[in-house]
Amino acid sequence: MKLYKLSNFKKGWVMGDFDSSIIRTKEAEVGIKEYKKGDKESRHVHKLAEEITVIVSGSCKINETVLKKGDVVMLDKNEPAEFECLEDGATVVIKVPSVIGDKHLV
């Protein structure tokens, strides 16, 4: 067994095609993202990756949809999304495949 601390990973990304990963792979990315109320991510698309976001705690808004604990969102390639945290919370984000630089502001 190996033990890690989430705080040791850049922005919570524990798997993907980057040096700090537990498992380095181009197949997928997995991140555990912690947010504070008011945190935002600008409207963007992924041209090569699909993305699944699981709301683990708190609530947020992706585009105009309010999401809460237990909700799961699937975003297709080239589907624009913007994020706003409505109360402190956490998400698990899975992207397939892992492509460095595949976040494009729109």
Kindly report the CATH number assigned to the domain that includes residue 92.
2.60.120.10
Task: Give the model's pLDDT for residue 6.
Answer: 95
The answer to whether residue 68 sits within a structural domain is yes
Tell me the pLDDT tens digit for each residue of 9-66: 999 999 999 988 999 999 999 999 999 999 999 999 999 999 999 999 999 999 999 9
The answer to whether residue 65 sits within a structural domain is yes
The answer to whether residue 94 sits within a structural domain is yes
The answer to whether residue 86 sits within a structural domain is yes
Triad 99, 39, 15: Cα angle to 5°: 30
Determine the structural domain holding residue 35 and report its residue range. 9-99
Triad 106, 83, 16: Cα angle to 5°: 85
Cα–Cα dist 84/62, whole Å: 7
Cα–Cα dist 98/3, whole Å: 23
Q: How many domains does the chain have?
A: 1
Cα–Cα dist 80/62, whole Å: 10
